[in-house]
Every structure is written in structure tokens, then in C-alpha cells.
Amino acid sequence: MIAPTPFYSNRGCHMRIFEEARWLSKDHYLVKIVTYQVGDNPEGFDVERIPDWFFWSRVGLKANQPTWHKIYLDFFLLLKTFVVAIKFRPAVLHCHLHEGALIGLLVGPLLGAKVIFDSQGGLTDELSRFKMIEKGSLLYGIFLLIEKAIYRLVPTIVASNESNYAMLRDLFKVPETKLRLVPDAISFDIKTDPKVTETLRKEMKIPSDRKVIVYLGSYTEVQNVEAVLKLAEVMKSKRQDIFWVLRGNGDVAHYQNLVQTLKLSDRVYLGDVIPYLDSQSYLALGDFAITLKLRTTESNGKLLSYALARLPIIALDHQSNRSLIGDSACYLGGDGDYEAWSSKLSKYLDLPKSTHEETARQLEKKIKACYAWESIIKKLESIYDGDNI
């Protein structure tokens, strides 16, 4: 697997890489991950890294967003991939992110390896959302040409969600003969540990008489965490029975300062990342879970974790979310009308507990039937074995 990211960290595409590699290894595939110079080494994983020579090694894990540093990192990742592949002789180059696909296209033909691009979103869409390039600019046009070339040249593209699949098919005119849908999934062997849950409750001083709304993810503009806090600010003037708990990685200090600015210290706990294997123990603290992620061409994998924890979900209303959990959420409009959001949320919080429990049970049942890694990984293996290649 080619992973142009500081693997492993508790965030985004790392969850997909982690679970794919873990389940493939369980099915007796030999998986080697080639990645950047920083990141944790999960137990039992075979990870190869580029040399630790660069400034980005000191900031990369916290950046959690596109950076121009990746240009030279990806050059060294290309060299590392070639050297590792000569020794390892992989049958498949499983390429994550667009940079990984470019590396795979350069290395794969030289070694006769199958090249598969695991797509989780749009390249130019991501760069423009992070304000690295401006829509309509010359640079935007260049990156758009690169993105189109990748889709044209890669023989097989795996889409991680229905919205991404539709974008590739309809916007970029990728033939469906080279597209495969292998959605994000969830591992049901990640259990709740009551001792960890109780330790977290004491650590964060969560009041026992409040309805707790939890968030688990990254602190970025795309994840729209600022909107969560502004919603909390509006709700504060209407209800006294809510406590918000946010844990994630990224610029924690910035969002902690925002909590102070909005005078939410008595209503919000905002802290650092929770280890992936403790995620269900953390979510057990909540009565509800929220995600206001903006991007609609990427999967929103935290919804699966929320569903597994049997939490009623609050989310933005877009196709990427609905493709995963259907109507089983309190959906808020994408217009950022906090007053309207707060009114709708308040009504949702006051629904009978039995209603929330039944919705959560039905959603958990759907998730287990449709998004278990044990079954989803078989789709990936069928592609490795020759489906559409």
C-alpha cells in the first residue's frame, strides 16, 4: 500500500488504510505500507518510511491538511516505493490519495504490478477548500488536468462512498467499467471498556445531570468544528441541560481558545485525540453524537462509529451522509442558520428515549449487515484477484 500521509494517526483516511491492511492480513495477504517519515507504528503492521530528514516531520502530524511540503515528500516516497517494490515484488500496488496513484502509475508498469487507486475524494476540491488554490486560477486548472489524467490512466478506481463514485462517473466521466464501490466499513471487534469510559468521564468532569453530545474526529474547517461550537453557543441561551464533549486531533489550542471566546467553558469540554481502539469507550459517554462535516464527495466514517455506539446522530443533510445512514439522523440544512438548527435540534433532543433507542437499534442492525469489514474486505480481494483488472 502506498500511503502519502503520516501513517498512522487517528484520523480520516488512516482509519481506512489501517482497517484494510488489518483485514487483508487476517485473510493471509502480505501487506507492506510505504509512507512518510512520521507516524505511529501499529503493532503487527509492516511499515516502510522515507528518511526523516525534513522540517515537516515536526509539524506534519498536527497539520492534518494539504501542504506544499508534500511535493518533496512525495518525490522521496516515489523513490522509497520503487526500492521497496523491487525487493518485495508486490502483485498489487494499492494506492491511497491522488499522490499515491501518481506514484503507482510510475512504479507499477516497471514491475508488472496491478495498480489500484483507492479514491476518497476530489483533489482540486480538497485543495480549493483548504484555500491552497483558488477556483478559476491557472494553478487550479493545472491540478484539475492532473486529477483528470490520474482518473484516465489508472486502470481501476475504488470509490470509498457513493458520492465519490457519482462524482467520478458524472463529473469526470470515468467509465463505470473501471469503477468499483468499496465503502468505508466498521470493525465490530472494537468494544466498549467500562473502566476506560469511567476514567474519561472523571477526567473531563462531565456533569451527570446533562444530555451529553459527543464529537469524535479532526479539528479542521472541513469538519466544521467551529459550526459545532457556534451551535453550542446558541443552544446555551435556550437550554441548560446540554454538555458538549469534543475529542480529536489538529489545532486543539485554536479551538480551545474559541471555546473561551464564545464563553462555553461551562458547557463544552474540548480535548486531544482519543486512540482509535478506545473510540467506543469514549462514545459511550454520549447520549447523542454530532458531525457537521462539509465535504460531500468524501465518506464520513465517524457515522459508522456513532451508529455502532447506538447514539442518535446529528449531521448535515447531504448525500454522503444519507448514503451511509439513510434517514436515521437529525439532519440540519447546509445554510448555517444556527437559530433554525437550534430549534430543530432541541425538538430532536426531546423525542422520547424509546424513539431514539429504536432508531439506534435499527441503524446498528443496518450497519452490521452492510458495513462490516469482514464482508467489505471481500470486495477488495475480488478486485485484487482479477475483477475489472
* 10, pLDDT greater than 70: yes
Q: What is the mean pLDDT of residues 302-313?
A: 96
Q: What is the mean pLDDT of residues 15-37?
A: 96
Q: What is the pTM of this model?
A: 0.89
Query: What pLDDT is recorded for position 11?
Result: 77
Query: What pLDDT is recorded for position 387?
Result: 65
The DSSP bridge pattern shows strands 313-316 and 288-291 to be parallel
* 245, pLDDT greater than 50: yes
Tell me the pLDDT of the chain averaged across its residues. Answer: 92
CA distance readout (Å), 137 to 67, 142, 344: 18, 9, 39
Query: What pLDDT is recorded for position 61?
Result: 47
Q: Residue 49: pLDDT band by 50, 70, 90 thresholds?
A: very high
Q: What is the mean pLDDT of residues 304-311?
A: 96
* 62, pLDDT greater than 50: no
| DSSP label at residue 298 | S
Q: What percent of the chain has pLDDT over 90?
A: 79
Look at 28-32, 113-117, 299-303 and tell me which has the smallest mean pLDDT: 299-303
Query: What pLDDT is recorded for position 53?
Result: 83
Q: What is the mean pLDDT of residues 87-91?
A: 96
pLDDT digits (tens, 9 = 90+) for 343-367: 999 999 999 999 999 999 999 999 9
| Alpha helices for the chain (secondary structure H) | 12-26, 56-63, 70-88, 97-111, 123-129, 138-153, 162-166, 194-204, 225-236, 252-261, 279-283, 302-308, 319-325, 338-349, 353-370, 373-384
CA dihedral 230, 234, 237, 239 (to 10 degrees): -100
* 199, pLDDT greater than 80: yes
Q: Residue 81: pLDDT band by 50, 70, 90 thresholds?
A: very high
Q: What is the mean pLDDT of residues 289-296?
A: 88
Query: What pLDDT is recorded for position 255?
Result: 96
Q: What is the mean pLDDT of residues 205-223?
A: 93
| DSSP label at residue 17 | H
pLDDT digits (tens, 9 = 90+) for 153-188: 999 999 998 889 999 999 999 999 999 999 999 999
